[in-house]
């Protein structure tokens, strides 16, 4: 897909834990590129984060942590609107209005709901079930054209398109239809201990690389990452565990695939892992330093989120007013 320009972009991450390399490579890296020459809105989706069990005393810290990581990873508040979802009440209001035209059956088909509800069988909430409707509201409020996401979210974008199409047909044109934007090489970074599962921040920390991991933890996690029996370094022939590590190496080194394959062919996994760990450490070091500097001035960060709220609110309020009028609610 060509790099979009002059488009409206929206995406978000839940402050449900520490951000990991999958969030960075699958989503944030794309966001940074797309903030150039586009109108970008990047949200900390805290209302989504409370659909799974969480500790209230930790949530506000996690929101600041996520906002600081966005900026440390390269989002520029002068180019992108960075804000907190729950600061804009229109997200929740539009979610209810969209829920009234969303068939129950469509929500039961959402694979992320199936996965997440299995993890918490006794406490699955209505909020978790209707998560994709809130996500549709997030996207549609800003008349979003492009949604940069990892592969796990593409089903939700399809649902968003279906909801918007249904709404426009029933009540008149109110919403732009959004398109998912994924980088096929990094859209699904897998767990370090189980290459059949995606890297996920709600799993055991040894399964993911946190953007804030210290060098020794990175070395330990990569050294313990599963591999296949025979060392084969090939983007097409290796097994899923090694393909995953190669994909991380490729994304962080920006080296061509054949150069990487040639570099490691004939060498063992131990050497490969040592080089991979050092590459990750060197790529994360500047981000981690920027993160520490930003967190040393949380007041500044709060001011910046206040500015983001102001900009986002104007757009969101306009869309919601149009929607309510179209639905006959005025
Ligand atoms: N493993 C991954 N590989 C590539 N992209 C990924 N994303 C998440 N995991 C990977 C992308 O990161 C963005 C933010 O995701 P989210 O936090 O809103 O929710 P999630 O997709 O459910 O991510 P996690 O880390 O797995 O969180 P938990 O464990 O809290 O559910 C999205 O664009 C997502 O595609």
Q: What is the pLDDT of residue 69?
A: 97
Q: How many CA atoms lie within 13 A of 297 on its CB side?
A: 9
Residue 7 Cβ inside 6 Å of ligand 1? The answer reads no
Q: Please, which pLDDT band fits residue 121 given cuts at 50, 70 and 90?
A: low
- Is the distance from CB of 22 to CB of 208 less than 8 angstroms? yes
Q: Say yes or no: CB of residue 290 within 6 Å of ligand 1.
A: no
The helix-helix angle for 154-171 and 131-141 (nearest 10°) equals 70
Containing H/E element for 8?
strand 8-13
Residue of 19, 200, 209 best suited for mutating to test ligand 1, as the one with most atoms within 8 Å of CB: 200
Report d(CA 200, CA 209) in Å as an integer.
10
Round to whole Å and give the CA distance between 294 and 116: 32
Coil/strand/helix, residue 66: helix
pTM passes above 0.75: yes
User: pLDDT for 29-84, tens place per residue?
Assistant: 999 999 999 999 999 999 999 999 899 999 999 999 999 999 999 999 999 999 99
Q: List Cα–Cα distances, 116 to 17, 113, 149, 267, 295, in angstroms.
A: 15, 5, 18, 39, 31
- Look at residue 3 and tell me whether its pLDDT is greater than 90: no
3-class secondary structure, 42: strand
What tens digit of pLDDT does each residue of 272-329 get?
999 999 999 999 999 999 999 999 999 999 999 999 999 999 999 999 999 999 999 9
Is 319 touching ligand 1 by the criterion CB < 6 Å?
Answer: no
pLDDT in tens, 253-275: 999 999 999 999 999 999 999 99
Give me the pLDDT at residue 115, please: 87
Residue 120: pLDDT over 80: no
Contact (Cβ atoms closer than 8 angstroms) between residue 38 and residue 7: yes
Residues in the chain: 330
Instruction: List, for residues 9-24, the tens digit of each pLDDT value.
Output: 999 999 999 999 999 9
CA of 140 to the centre of ligand 1 (A): 20
Are the beta carbons of 228 and 242 closer than 8 angstroms? Answer: yes
**What's the gap in Å between 276 CA and the centre of ligand 1?**
22
Nearest CA to ligand 1 atom 23: 200
> Looking at the annotation, which residues are catalytic?
116, 198, 201
Q: What is the pLDDT of residue 90?
A: 98
In this predicted model, what pLDDT tens digit does every residue of 73-106 receive, in sequence order? 999 999 999 999 999 999 999 999 999 999 999 9
pLDDT at residue 1 in the model: 67
Q: Is the CB of 16 under 6 A from ligand 1?
A: yes
CA 255 to the chain's CA centroid: 24
Closest atom, ligand 1, to C-alpha of 152: 35
User: Relative to the CA of 19, which ligand 1 atom is closest?
Assistant: 25
Per residue in 196-252, pLDDT (tens digit) is 999 999 899 999 999 999 999 999 999 999 998 888 899 999 999 999 999 999 999
């Amino acid at each position: 897909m060509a790099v979009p320009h002059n488009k409206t972009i929206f995406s978000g991450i839940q402050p449900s834990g520490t951000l990991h390399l999958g969030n960075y490579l699958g989503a944030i890296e794309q966001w940074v590129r797309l903030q150039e020459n586009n109108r970008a809105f990047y949200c900390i989706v805290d209302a989504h984060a409370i659909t799974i069990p969480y500790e209230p005393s930790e949530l506000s810290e996690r929101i600041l942590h996520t906002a600081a990581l966005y900026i440390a990873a390269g989002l520029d508040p002068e180019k992108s609107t960075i804000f907190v979802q729950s600061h804009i009440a229109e997200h929740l209001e539009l979610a209810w209005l969209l829920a009234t035209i969303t068939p129950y059956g469509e929500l039961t088909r959402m694979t992320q709901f199936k996965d997440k509800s299995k993890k918490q069988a006794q406490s699955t909430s209505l909020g978790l079930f209707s998560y994709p409707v809130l996500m549709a509201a997030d996207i549609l409020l800003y008349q979003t054209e492009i949604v940069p996401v990892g592969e796990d979210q593409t089903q939700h974008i399809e649902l968003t398109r279906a909801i918007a199409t249904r709404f426009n047909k029933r009540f008149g044109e109110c919403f732009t239809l959004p398109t998912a934007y994924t980088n096929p090489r990094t859209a699904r970074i897998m767990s370090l201990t189980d290459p059949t599962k995606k890297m996920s921040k709600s799993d055991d920390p040894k399964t993911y690389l946190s953007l804030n991991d210290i060098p020794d933890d990175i070395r330990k996690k990569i050294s313990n990452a599963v591999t296949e029996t025979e060392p084969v370094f090939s983007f097409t022939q290796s097994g899923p565990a090694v393909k995953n590590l190669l994909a991380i190496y490729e994304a962080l080194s920006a080296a061509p695939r054949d150069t990487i394959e040639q570099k490691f062919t004939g060498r063992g996994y131990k050497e490969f892992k040592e080089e991979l760990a050092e590459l990750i450490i060197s790529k994360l070091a500047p981000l981690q330093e920027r993160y520490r500097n930003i967190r040393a001035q949380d007041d500044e960060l709060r001011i910046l989120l206040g500015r983001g709220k102001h900009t986002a609110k104007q757009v969101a309020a306009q869309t919601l007013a149009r929607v309510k009028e179209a639905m006959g609610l005025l």
